[in-house]
Structure 1
Amino acid sequence: MTVAAMWEARAADGRGAELAAWIREFALPAVRGAAGLVRTELFSAPGERVLLITWWSGEPPRSEMFAVIADPPAELLGRPVHRWSFTSEHVE
Structure 2
Amino acid sequence: MIVRMWEVQAHPESLADVLSWVCERAVPAIGADPNLVGTEVFSSLDSRIVVITRWRREPRELEGPPGYLVTRKPHSWDFSPVEL
Task: State if a TM-score over 0.5 links the two structures.
Answer: yes
Would you say 1:65 and 2:60 are equivalent positions? yes
CA displacement at 1:15 relative to structure 2: 1.1
Report what 2:26 is aligned to: 27
Amino acid aligned to 1:85: D
Report what 2:70 is aligned to: 77
For the residues of structure 2 that align with 1:20 and 1:5, how far apart are their CA atoms?
A: 18
Contact 1:39 1:54 survives alignment (8 Å): yes
CA displacement at 1:16 relative to structure 2: 1.0
CA displacement at 1:65 relative to structure 2: 2.1
User: What secondary structure sits across from 1:26 in the alignment?
Assistant: helix
Using structure 2 for the length normalisation, give the TM-score: 0.90
Identity percentage of aligned residues:
32
Unaligned runs of 5+ in 2: none
Q: 1:90 to 1:14 in 2, by over 3 A?
A: farther
Report what 2:8 is aligned to: 9
Contact 1:15 1:76 survives alignment (8 Å): yes
CA displacement at 1:35 relative to structure 2: 2.6
User: What secondary structure sits across from 1:22 in the alignment?
Assistant: helix
Amino acid aligned to 1:65: R
Amino acid aligned to 1:84: W
Contact 1:42 1:51 survives alignment (8 Å): yes
For the residues of structure 1 that align with 2:23 and 2:38, how far apart are their CA atoms?
A: 14
For the residues of structure 1 that align with 2:37 and 2:23, how far apart are their CA atoms?
A: 17
Paired residue total: 84
